[in-house]
């Protein structure tokens, strides 16, 4: 029997991993961005949405308004104010080819805030993404206040998202590679091993010494994550290594992934790194133990070739799997188990299908080629590189002809699939959301393809067009989609409590759209355009009285126009008076 071992220690990362930060700090000023001890709710490289996280999330004691300071000397090279993503964010271009990023801020320091507001009025935009010039003189020294922490943009709670980037190519660098001072004594976790074989998958608790029976060929993935001192949040690994060896010492697999630098241009290929059937449903940090040939991520060493990942060895024989996870502090955890190749009939228990059951026409795709085919009364068309590997794809029309199911559902789509089918000859009023009555012609506008969960809540929405007797939709994921027509305009209600009738108070409105989502918001005072801050998390639109577009002590003709993605529009118009 192969020797089985488990190691848990604190080896240090290679010196080159820390050299850039050390060299920078020996020559330049460096200050931690918050005045409190760093506790992290997220770190560099963890799996997020359809990308790797590109910075660290520093906790702000559950509140907004903590002072955020410049980590280096530098000039503000970019300012963003957005309802989404980074929210209010600053990009500080410093010395030594380093840029630091501060995101989800509540507000900027006055001279940046004034510049940003003025620039927004100049462009009349909902939000801002602009680059100050050297003449704007937004220059700061390490330790200077840049703004105050908040919860703006796509943030799920008050915190500071902080990045260190290589200025030349804007590649994010791991802030825990010597940039931030963070004590960490807790080793990573490797709790679960996943296997994939012939459209089925299963998991085992990853315990040293176990022998696990699996059919071959098989592909492997492992759940791996880190826990940091002072927080319970699940974070990403710094390095993951895996080998599979035969009893004779032959190497069937060698895999390495390391999160020191990321590239925004290919960051969505994280979907090819993650074991997507688990990641997409459970959001567990599950890593494939192979690199798909079309995966463009730069986290793998060049001497480890891309591979489809399928392993095979003689039935009845064993191989040894060894996996080591290391965090940025050098803490490491190793697990080793034996894998026994067994006939499929003996290992059915615990295995389940990886996708929805499918018995209809399928189209076969390869990553390198575009294509088109007919499946389930619909025409499917796709571009090259839509999928990361060869994939069977298909469509099953639903009983009403108002939509259907796109297959596969547990595979990441790098690009959208175009689906089109004939408009049904007959449909009842319920099927079209009271939009089409029997015998009436179909309207061609305001249609959406909607994907809903089991509770009926909207999971995803795509625009649908109806032309020349055909329905056309562009779908970025599989699953059951159904045509719905959005004819309901957004809801707009003022918040009466405290605004705008309090002296100096802001104007605040509740804005919501039930289906297609808000597309544009325009506010005017007495015919003059006014900036608004749109917070979709709270469905709140705010006019900041400090902008001073309104007249004080006399009536203002106020008009707020909200338009949704389907073109429906609500106009809220009143006369308001600020004391």
Residue finishing a domain among 307, 324, 353: 353
Alpha helices, H only, 84-204? 110-123
- Residues 518 and 413 placed together within one structural domain of the fold: no
Predicted pLDDT at 339? 96
- Residues 563-578 have a mean pLDDT of 95
What own/partner pairs with CB < 8 Å and gap ≥ 24 does 314-318 have?
Answer: 314/341, 315/216, 315/341, 315/342, 315/343, 316/340, 316/341, 316/342, 317/246, 317/247, 317/341, 318/2, 318/211, 318/247
The single residue listed with the structure tokens 């045509």 is 483
Selection from 230, 212, 232 nearest residue 222 by Cα: 212
Is the model's pLDDT at 1 over the cut of 50?
Answer: no
Predicted pLDDT at 499? 55
- Residues 153 and 54 placed together within one structural domain of the fold: yes
- Residues 349 and 212 placed together within one structural domain of the fold: yes
- Rounded to the nearest 10°, the torsion over CA 119, 124, 125, 129 is -20
Residue 316 sits in a domain of what CATH number? Answer: 2.60.40
List the structure tokens of 163. Answer: 């990045």
- Residues 536 and 441 placed together within one structural domain of the fold: no
Predicted pLDDT at 304? 83
Predicted pLDDT at 14? 47
Predicted pLDDT at 497? 52
Q: pLDDT, tens digit, for every residue of 512-542?
A: 998 999 999 999 999 999 999 999 999 999 9
Residue 252 forms part of a structural domain: yes
- Residues 247 and 323 placed together within one structural domain of the fold: yes
> Do residues 198 and 352 lie in contact, with contact meaning Cβ atoms separated by under 8 Å?
no
User: Is residue 358 very low, low, confident or very high in pLDDT (cuts 50, 70, 90)?
Assistant: confident
Residue 49 forms part of a structural domain: yes
- Residues 299 and 412 placed together within one structural domain of the fold: no
Predicted pLDDT at 19? 87
Cβ of 73: how many Cβ atoms within 10 Å? 20
**460-484 burial, b if ≥16 CB within 10 A, otherwise e?**
ebbebebeeeebbbbbebbbbbbbb
Q: pLDDT, tens digit, for every residue of 300-320?
A: 998 888 888 999 999 999 999
Q: pLDDT, tens digit, for every residue of 456-505?
A: 999 999 999 998 889 999 999 999 999 999 999 999 999 865 456 778 88
Residue 13 forms part of a structural domain: no
Selection from 577, 506, 497 nearest residue 547 by Cα: 506
User: Is residue 199 very low, low, confident or very high in pLDDT (cuts 50, 70, 90)?
Assistant: confident
Residue finishing a domain among 425, 451, 485: 485
Rg (CA), the chain: 27
Residue 183 forms part of a structural domain: no
Is the model's pLDDT at 550 over the cut of 80?
Answer: yes
Q: pLDDT, tens digit, for every residue of 231-267?
A: 999 999 999 999 999 988 889 999 999 999 999 999 9
Predicted pLDDT at 346? 57
- Residues 330 and 467 placed together within one structural domain of the fold: no
Total number of domains constituting the chain: 4
- Residues 343 and 371 placed together within one structural domain of the fold: no
Predicted pLDDT at 2? 34
Residue 26 forms part of a structural domain: no
- Residues 334 and 205 placed together within one structural domain of the fold: yes
Predicted pLDDT at 7? 38
pTM for the model stands at 0.92
Is the model's pLDDT at 438 over the cut of 80?
Answer: no
Residue finishing a domain among 330, 353, 376: 353
Parent domain of 41: 32-173
User: Is residue 3 very low, low, confident or very high in pLDDT (cuts 50, 70, 90)?
Assistant: very low
Predicted pLDDT at 9? 38
- Residues 115-136 have a mean pLDDT of 96
Residue 3 forms part of a structural domain: no
- Residues 477 and 510 placed together within one structural domain of the fold: no
Residue 498 sits in a domain of what CATH number? Answer: 2.60.40.10
- Residues 220 and 332 placed together within one structural domain of the fold: yes
Residue 407 sits in a domain of what CATH number? Answer: 2.60.220.30
Look at residue 409 and give its three-state secondary structure: coil
- Residues 445 and 338 placed together within one structural domain of the fold: no
Predicted pLDDT at 16? 53
Residue 146 sits in a domain of what CATH number? Answer: 2.70.70.10
Q: Which helix (H) or strand (E) holds 26?
A: helix 15-27
Residue 358 forms part of a structural domain: no
Cβ of 417: how many Cβ atoms within 10 Å? 22
Residue 538 forms part of a structural domain: yes
> Do residues 571 and 561 lie in contact, with contact meaning Cβ atoms separated by under 8 Å?
yes
Q: What proportion of the chain, given as a percentage, has pLDDT over 90?
A: 82
Strands 211-214 and 332-341: parallel
Is the model's pLDDT at 415 over the cut of 70?
Answer: yes
Predicted pLDDT at 108? 98
């Amino acid at each position: 029997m192969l020797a089985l071992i488990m190691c848990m220690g604190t080896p240090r990362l290679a010196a080159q991993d820390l050299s850039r930060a050390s060299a920078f700090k020996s020559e330049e000023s460096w200050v931690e961005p918050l005045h409190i001890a760093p506790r992290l709710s997220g770190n560099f490289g963890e799996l997020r949405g359809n990308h790797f996280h590109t910075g660290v999330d520093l906790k702000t004691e559950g509140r907004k308004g903590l002072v955020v300071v410049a980590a280096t000397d530098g000039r503000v090279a970019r300012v963003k104010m957005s309802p989404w993503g980074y929210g209010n964010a600053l990009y500080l271009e410093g010395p030594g080819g380093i840029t630091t990023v501060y995101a989800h801020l509540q507000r900027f320091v006055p001279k940046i805030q004034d510049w940003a507001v003025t620039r927004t009025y100049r462009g009349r935009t909902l939000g801002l993404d602009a680059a100050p010039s050297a003449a704007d003189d937004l220059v700061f020294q390490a330790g200077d206040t840049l703004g105050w922490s908040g919860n703006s943009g796509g943030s799920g709670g008050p915190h500071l998202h902080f990045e260190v980037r290589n200025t030349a190519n804007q590649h994010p660098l791991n802030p825990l590679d010597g940039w931030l001072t963070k004590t960490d004594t807790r080793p990573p976790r490797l709790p679960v091993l996943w296997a994939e074989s012939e459209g089925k998958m299963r998991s085992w608790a990853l315990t040293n010494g176990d022998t696990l029976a699996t059919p071959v060929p098989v592909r492997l993935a492992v759940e791996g994550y880190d826990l940091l001192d002072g927080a319970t949040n699940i974070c990403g690994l710094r390095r993951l290594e895996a080998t599979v060896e035969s009893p004779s010492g032959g190497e069937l697999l060698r895999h390495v992934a390391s999160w020191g630098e990321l590239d925004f241009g290919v960051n969505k290929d994280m979907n090819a790194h993650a074991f997507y059937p688990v990641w997409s449903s459970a959001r567990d940090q599950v890593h494939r133990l192979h690199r798909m040939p079309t995966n463009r991520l730069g986290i793998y060493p060049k001497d480890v070739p891309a591979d489809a990942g399928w392993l095979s060895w003689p039935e009845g024989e064993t191989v040894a799997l060894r996996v080591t996870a290391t965090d940025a502090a050098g803490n490491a955890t190793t697990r080793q188990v034996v894998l026994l190749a067994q006939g499929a009939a003996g290992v059915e228990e615990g295995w389940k299908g990886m996708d929805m059951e499918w018995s209809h026409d399928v189209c076969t795709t390869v990553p390198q080629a575009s294509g088109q085919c007919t499946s389930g009364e619909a025409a499917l068309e796709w571009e090259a590189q839509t999928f990361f590997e060869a994939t069977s794809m298909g469509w099953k029309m639903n009983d009403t002809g108002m939509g259907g199911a796109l297959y596969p559902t547990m595979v990441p789509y790098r690009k959208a699939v175009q689906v089109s089918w004939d408009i049904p000859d007959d449909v009842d009023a319920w099927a079209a959301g009271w939009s089409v009555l029997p015998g009436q012609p179909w309207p061609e506008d305001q249609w959406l393809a909607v994907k809903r969960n089991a509770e009926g809540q909207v999971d995803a929405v795509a625009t649908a067009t109806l032309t020349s007797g055909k329905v056309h939709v562009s779908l970025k994921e599989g699953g059951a989609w159904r045509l719905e027509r959005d004819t309901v305009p957004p809801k707009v209600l003022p918040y009466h409590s405290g605004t705008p009738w309090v002296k100096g108070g802001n104007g605040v409105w509740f804005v919501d759209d039930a289906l297609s989502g808000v597309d544009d918001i325009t506010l005017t005072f007495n015919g003059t355009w006014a900036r608004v801050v749109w917070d979709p998390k709270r469905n709140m639109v705010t006019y900041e009285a400090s902008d001073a577009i309104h007249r004080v002590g006399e009536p203002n003709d106020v008009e707020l126009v909200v338009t949704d993605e389907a073109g429906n529009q609500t106009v809220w118009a009143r006369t308001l008076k600020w004391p």
